[in-house]
Structure 1
Amino acid sequence: MTVTRRGFLGITAATLATTSAATSPAAASPVATRSAAPPGGGTPSRTLYLGTYTSSPGGGSGIGIATYEANGKISATGVLSGVEDPSFLVTRGRHLYAVNEQRAGGVTAIAIDAPGKLRILNRQPNQGSAPCHLTIAGDYLLSANYGSGDLAVHPIRSDGSLGQQTDLVKHKGTTPHAHQVLQAGKYVLAVDLGTDSIYTYTLADGKLLLRHQTTLKTGAGPRHLAFHPSGRYAYVANELDSTITVCRYDNGRLTPTNTVSTIPPGSPQNYPGEVITSPDGRFVYLTNRGHNSIAVFATSAAGSALSLVSTPSCGGDWPRHCALDPSGRLMFVSNQRSNNVTTFAVAHRTGGLTQTSSFSIPTPVCVSV
């Protein structure tokens, strides 16, 4: 498979765009936003940061900033411009980090001076192509490069800005496409759609060392994984054959145990996107792009098996990403092609989803709560 497959799967021209000049701190002024406190007191709203594509026709102009109420209704409060193609975001404390998903990829560090008030610290190239995911591991920011099939490592300075890259590790194979990187205890896991593999690394002094490689079914196309709260099982969303694989996890090693479909029989062509677990581990949620639904799975008591419960509509077209709010009672779904983020109320007992609102924004591809 080649990078053009990413365009076929609905990923915009952002992966082929030329990287703009790095944004300097002097050029990045703080964004003015409306207060999140409701008039006359009451429960304050919470802040959302929204990843978009800026280089696609009709795309966004940077990182969207919004608030949401207790009922899930979203209101726009501003945009941080000057960040190119911020298709995936992650926060830690008073800092936000974004990929720049372009041919010459990069990562951007942003200060959160107050909820909804953002200021660019700096941008660093990551020597890879089309970074689409990142994670924080200790004092390092790791990014996964889909186009070049490698992982980049940048140190995080004491002020939250990013230092020069300390490592770049390429996955071996004909067409590697690193799609996710995440920390699992003392290990770093990387999911690669092109090699049908999940790689286990250790990270020390800014360097990654490969410890293990788990290979899934040929052509499955693993995209993302999420852990059961126990840490004993992981659920892998397979983009190319529309399945989800349960893996037993122990000391950095994943062992596939069973695989189920993410859509009912007779469904249209479909490509799973994001996968997440409920805080109590009783349910797993997965976005179906094509079927345009959210697959709701019930887990076994220990999390070792999944059963498909329902596939409610995502409320839009091409649901690339989803996230739960800290309470676990609300879910936000980024519908890339219909330019909206839908909010769902989550039923604690059944795991069921009920859409409560829809918010318009150009090419939403990530929600950071």
Structure 2
Amino acid sequence: MKLRKSGRTLLATATILGLGLGLTSCSPSNTVDFVYVTASKNNPGQISVYKVDSESGALTQIQDSPYPSGGRNPVGTITSPDGKYLYVINKDDNSIVEFAIGTDGKIYQQQTCNTPGSEPVALTMNASETLLYVVDFFSPTTPGGPVYSSANPGPGALIVYPVDKTTGNIGGSGCAPVQQTFVDANNVTQTATYVPIGFQPTGVNALANGNSVFVAAQDGLPSATSTLGVVDAFDVNSSGTLSPVTTYPTGTAPSSIASDPTNRFLYVTDSRQNQLITYTILSTGILNASQNPPVKTDTFPVAITVDPRGFYIYVANYNASDINAYAINQSTGTPSAVAGASAYATGAGPSCVLVEPGLGRFIYTANFIDNTVTGMELNPNTGALTANQNSPYLSAGQPTCAAAIPHGNHSTQAVSATAGS
């Protein structure tokens, strides 16, 4: 078991945000990152592990890849801020699985925890590696009671776990979430291991400063009575206790969510209207909708990432099988298409997009339909993309999401992350 030595390598995943921080390694290497791609076709699910060439961005699977995901239907994955641990949510088993990451990129299963509700769909970790946020598609009907289901739909759930930075374990040996207090639909104050959120949740985002967390959901009410999406906003203290701010209407089918590294702007994709919505973040998690209209995307956007420098946004469009690239107005947060191509082709059905955290120079998508990973190089001056050497790269069947850690003799970017279905 060849575990990674303690060091300040940094967090990256499906949704990549961040602050710049110069770091170096002690030994030279042409490997800039290791990339981890979850795949859902087999039972149990699988994790393909790749090393990334620092010159070309080309991916090469390491020995023994793919690895078991520890459960069925893995749909989201992130890495810890120190690069020592990988976390995977398995939707069909209602589980979170922790893996230790070796210095050679190999992964070793450690802890498995079950969530209070069912069908976990998204997760993220704060930058200080003290809190893990997980979103369940269905919450329990009452604290400690049976959970909702597709036959009896109900709200989702946001769960917060304390993280042991030494072991990477969540919730201690008993996988215990932080206890939360909320007022239920009957105006009764409840104490539980979660807080209820909107129906059909799709993504979660924690600000880089750790003060607020946002959840996108496709219905504030059951789909039979509502066609409006929402963002649920919460303040969070250092122990993980959530305080609701308010719920904001957001398009009709919010599908992914991300914020910029300066904690000023929040972005939400709408897969029904094919658009990108912008908010300004005020103090204590308050959102103001942009005065500018939403920006058009290609067909069925499902994933979003902000580059670690905070200059560009990349949106993966599942039906169009491409990426849209946008430059961020640093004063208003308004995105505008980068010069050049209006869209960049990926493999079929991109379900996830990330910018590697080592140099912030390469971007990857997990392509669900054709079982590939697409790699591109990011021009930091323009935001434009060009295809990587030998891209696309084969993955295990039906890849769903991706995460990465930096490695080798190069500076890195500090990033915060979100990942989900």
If the TM-score is normalised by the length of the shorter chain, which range does it land in?
0.7 to 0.9
- 1:165 pairs with 2:200: no
Give the match for residue 159 of structure 2: 152
Contact 2:69–2:88 (Cα < 8 Å) also in 1: no
Q: Compute the displacement of 1:82 (Å).
A: 5.0
- Give unmatched runs, 5+ long, in structure 1: 1-28, 32-40, 264-269
- Aligned pairs for 1:133-282 (under 5 A) are 133-137=122-126, 138-148=129-139, 149-157=156-164, 158-163=166-171, 164-166=175-177, 167-172=193-198, 176-184=199-207, 185=209, 186-195=211-220, 196-204=229-237, 205-217=239-251, 219=252, 221-251=253-283, 252-257=285-290, 258-263=293-298, 270-282=299-311
Q: Distance in 2 between matches of 1:216 and 1:206?
A: 25
CA RMSD of aligned residues (A): 2.3
Q: Compute the displacement of 1:364 (Å).
A: 1.6
**CA offset digits 1:268-324 (Å, max 9, x no partner):** xx2111112233333211011111111112222424322234433433111111111
Q: Compute the displacement of 1:96 (Å).
A: 1.2
Instruction: Identify if the C-alpha distance between structure 1 residues 42 and 140 changes in structure 2 by more than 3 Å, giving closer, same or farther.
Output: closer
Instruction: Identify if the C-alpha distance between structure 1 residues 303 and 228 changes in structure 2 by more than 3 Å, giving closer, same or farther.
Output: farther
Q: Compute the displacement of 1:325 (Å).
A: 1.4
Equivalent residue letter for 1:187: S
- 1:304 pairs with 2:333: yes
Q: Distance in 2 between matches of 1:275 and 1:189?
A: 14
- 1:90 pairs with 2:78: yes
Contact 2:324–2:344 (Cα < 8 Å) also in 1: no
Give the match for residue 287 of structure 1: 316
1:69 counterpart (50, 53, 60): 53
Aligned residues: percent identity? 21
Contact 2:323–2:346 (Cα < 8 Å) also in 1: no
Q: Compute the displacement of 1:177 (Å).
A: 1.5
Contact 2:31–2:52 (Cα < 8 Å) also in 1: no
Give the match for residue 187 of structure 2: none
- 1:117 pairs with 2:149: no
Instruction: Identify if the C-alpha distance between structure 1 residues 177 and 290 changes in structure 2 by more than 3 Å, giving closer, same or farther.
Output: same
Contact 1:282–1:303 (Cα < 8 Å) also in 2: no
Q: Distance in 2 between matches of 1:261 and 1:272?
A: 10
Equivalent residue letter for 1:165: A
Q: Distance in 1 between matches of 2:304 and 2:101?
A: 27
Give the match for residue 266 of structure 1: none
Instruction: Identify if the C-alpha distance between structure 1 residues 341 and 238 changes in structure 2 by more than 3 Å, giving closer, same or farther.
Output: same
Equivalent residue letter for 1:112: I
Q: Distance in 1 between matches of 2:29 and 2:125?
A: 34
TM-score (norm 1): 0.79
Q: Distance in 1 between matches of 2:2 and 2:66?
A: 10
Q: Distance in 1 between matches of 2:91 and 2:296?
A: 30
Contact 1:298–1:306 (Cα < 8 Å) also in 2: yes
Equivalent residue letter for 1:320: S
Contact 1:214–1:253 (Cα < 8 Å) also in 2: no
Q: Distance in 1 between matches of 2:312 and 2:87?
A: 28
**CA offset digits 1:88-111 (Å, max 9, x no partner):** 111112111111112x51111111
Give the match for residue 81 of structure 1: 68
Other structure's SS at 1:351 match: coil
Contact 1:188–1:201 (Cα < 8 Å) also in 2: yes
- 1:99 pairs with 2:83: no
- Higher RCO (CA 8 Å, separation ≥ 6 residues): 2
